[in-house]
Every structure is written in C-alpha cells, then in structure tokens.
Amino acid sequence: MRDFEYSRAETLSGAAGQIGEGASVVAGGTNLLDLMKIQVMSPARLVDISRIGELQGISDDGEGLRIGALATNSELAADGRIRSGWPLLSRAILAGASAQIRNKATTGGNLLQRTRCPYFYDTAMACNKRSPGEGCAAQEGVGRMLAIFGTSEHCLAAHPSDMAVALTALRAEVEIRSKEGETRRLPVTELYRLPGDRPDLETVLAPGEIITAVRLPAPMAETRQVYSKVRDRASYAFALVSVAAVVQMDGDRIGSASLAFGGVAPRPWTDPEVDQALVGAAPGDEAFGNAADVLVAQAQCHPDTEFKKPLLRRTLIAALREATGLAETATGASTARIPA
C-alpha cells in the first residue's frame, strides 16, 4: 500500500474544500481500502466523509424517500418504510455481501463500487479500466463474471452492485453535489457511462462531485416486487445474473413492468422493449419466455459467458412467475403495502 494523506471532513462544504487532484473520498471503505492494499487504486489523499451529518439518515420528503449517501446497507435493508414500500431494495441489499460488510458499506459507496473483473484486480495483467490503453486481459482470459450487454472491445466488465439494480427497477434518482455546492439529480441508470473506449471513466460524476443522496419516488400501489439473484454459492458471491422486477397487475393481465438486470452489464441493465412486451400479457411461461427472448437477443458473449443467455432467460421467467403469483417460494415476492 502506498502512503497517503488522510483528512476528515465534518461538513459537505468542508469536504468540497479538501477534494482535489489525486484525492478520493472514502465512506465505508469496504471497496476502496481493498483496492488500495493491492494498489489497484492509490489515491494520494483520502477525504473521509463518513462523519458528515448532512449525508446521514433516511427521511420522508413527501415525494418518496430521501436516503442519505451514508445510510449503511444494513440500515437501509432493515428500514420499516423501505421494507413495506420498496421491499425489492431491501431484498437486493440482503442478497449481497455479508452482514459485516453491509454494516460498513454505504449507499453512495455501493453505487460507486468497482467491477469484480479479476484482471482488474491483478496489476500484472493488462486492463484498460485500471490503465487506459494497456489492453484488456479478460478478452482472451477467464470470464465467468463478465458482462454480456453494453460492453465494448475495450472492456467487458460487469458492474457488481445488487442495490443499484433494485434502485434502477424502482426508478430511483441520485442526488449529486458539485464542488461549488450545486445540486443536480439523475436517474440511477444515467449515473453510469458505458465503457466505450474509456472504461476507466465509469460515471458521469465530474471531478469533485459527490453523491449526497438517493431518492426513491413514491411507490406505485400494489406492485409485486422480486429480486432474483443467481450466484455460484448460496450467499456471499456476486451475481452471475440477477433480475429486479416491479410488476403491477391489471386484473389478470400485467398492467406494467419495470425490470432491471444485474451481473450482465457495466451498469444496471434495462431494456424498455422487454418491459413493454409484458404489458397486457397474461402471466405464463410462454409470455415470459417471449419477453426474455427479446432481452437475450441483444447479448454479446465472451466464450465463458454464453451460459448467461439461458441462465438470464430462465431467471427472468422465474422472477416473473413470482412477481405475478404463479409461484410461491421461500424467498417469495413481496407486495408493496402502500395505501392506494
């Protein structure tokens, strides 16, 4: 690990003053410190934002919930309002990491965690994301965790967050504050850039901008929400594929669907055509399979990720079966209990 300077910010404006060239903010540190130890990231200065009061807490602002960037993953998953109004979020968070990590991990840090591509973690291997222009060792390497949508010839890495997938299906927004103190809001999906020829640039955040909050819009009445995550062991593993589904029924047909997919793209993946294909459909494996085919048709696979096509297709069907009540399982769908 390289030496670095450390400073703690007590306020947002204080933090803005400390963030400069070569600095990185640190929140829970569960991702950044790991990367610093193996010198994949070596910021010259760490600005610790973890004590800033303005970034804490979860509040109801009338339009929905405002989640402070420092709200921990555990806090969020356990929050009674979230469990009843946005149960998908709670489930997605609990499907990730471990209890110990979730206790430290923050909302902002979770959104900005780096990929788990093993070549990114290995400084002896070429990686455009780590060192732009160096090449991409994953192309002809081992690639079980790589993405199948939104990749480029320069980078095939997937975004690992589960929480971000749920937030995307819930149409959440991130609130961003610039160094100068201006605030803007973006849908979660628009926070991320696709790799193109600069996989090192992962988000649209300008230098010095930090995430201050995530905003959840008021929930739609009577939606069924499901998070299905398939991984290589029952817990404590990143998604091979995951599906976040928010489904509203209209009688015995699907009224609307908002889907997002994890483990398959450099950002939480969405496909409006898939959502659209489900509207008006009678729940059943055939209709779900047709929608899944629309999605999977777009996939571009590394030899090691060919399996993600059938797996994603099947996981989407399974999630929709739960979301439309065709299947009850142990982890079952959760109905958002919101007064209509």
Partner 1 sequence: MTKTFRMNEAQPRLLDETGQGIVGAPLDRPEGPKKVSGRAHYAADGLPEGAAQGVLVRATIARGRITGIDEDSVSGLEGVIGVFHGPEFLRNPAQGMAGEAPVQPGGEVHYHGQPIALVVAESFEAARDAAQRLVVTYEAEAGVVTDPARSEELEQDDPETAGDFEAAFAAAEVTLDRSYTTPAQAAAAMEPHAALAEWEGDELTLRGALQMLRFNKEELADSLGIPAEKVRILAPYVGGGFGSKLGIGPEAVAAALASRTLGRPVRVVMTRQTVFDAVLRRTETSQRLRLGADRDGRLRALSHDDRVSNIQGEGFAEPVSQASQFLYGAEGLSFAQTLARVSRTPAGSVRAPGEAVGMLALEQAMDELAEMLEMCPVALRLKNLPEKNPMTGQPFSATRLGDCLREGAERFGWDARKPMGSRREGEWYVGMGMASAARSNMLVKSAARVRLSGEGAVVETDMTDIGTGTYAILGQIAAEMLGLPVEKVEVRLGDTSFPGASGSGGSFGANSAGSATFLAAKAIRETLAGRMGCGLSELTLQEGIARGGNREVPLAELIEEELVEEASVEAGDTSESHFSSGFGAHFAEVAVHAYTGEVRVRRMLGVMAMGRILNEKTARSQALGGMIWGLGAALTEEMAHDPRTGHVVSRDLANYHVPAHADVPGDMTVVFLEERDDMANPIQTKGIGELGISGAGAAILNAVRNACGARVYDMPATPDRVIAAMEAAGF
Ligand X SMILES: Cc1cc2nc3c(=O)[nH]c(=O)nc-3n(C[C@H](O)[C@H](O)[C@H](O)COP(=O)(O)OP(=O)(O)OC[C@H]3O[C@@H](n4cnc5c(N)ncnc54)[C@H](O)[C@@H]3O)c2cc1C
The site string for ligand X over 42-81 (x = CB under 6 A, - otherwise) reads ---------------------------x---x--------
Binding of residue 128 to ligand SF4 (CB under 6 A)? yes
Considering just the CA atoms, what is the radius of gyration of the chain in Å?
20
Interface residue with ligand SF4 among 110, 115, 161, 225 (CB under 6 A) is 115
Binding of residue 227 to ligand SF4 (CB under 6 A)? no
Structure tokens at 71: 């709200």
Binding of residue 113 to ligand SF4 (CB under 6 A)? no
Residue 138 near residue 152, CB atoms below 8 Å:
no
Mapping DSSP onto H, E and C, the string for 29-68 reads CCCHHHHHHCCCCCCCEEEECCCCHHHCCEEECCCEEEEE
Nearer to ligand SF4 among residue 215 and residue 267 (C-beta): 267
The site string for ligand SF4 over 184-223 (x = CB under 6 A, - otherwise) reads ---------------x------------------------
Residues 225-284 that bind ligand X (CB under 6 A): 238
**217 phi, psi to nearest 5 deg:** -70, 160
Burial 182-221 (b: 16+ CB within 10 A, else e): eeeebebbebbbbbeebbeebbebeebbbbbbbbbeebbe
Strands (E), the chain: 5-8, 23-26, 45-48, 58-60, 64-68, 173-177, 183-187, 210-217, 223-230, 241-250, 253-262, 334-335
Q: In whole angstroms, how close is the CB of 29 to ligand X at the nearest point? A: 4
Nearer to ligand X among residue 14 and residue 255 (C-beta): 14
Binding of residue 228 to ligand SF4 (CB under 6 A)? no
Residue 45 near residue 22, CB atoms below 8 Å:
yes
Residues 107-126 that bind ligand X (CB under 6 A): 108-110, 112-113
Binding of residue 6 to partner 1 (CB under 8 A)? no
Binding of residue 297 to partner 1 (CB under 8 A)? no
- Terminal-residue alpha carbon distance, the chain: 54
Nearer to ligand X among residue 32 and residue 336 (C-beta): 32
Residues engaged in binding ligand X (CB under 6 A): 24-32, 34, 69, 73, 96-97, 101, 104-106, 108-110, 112-113, 160-163, 210-211, 238
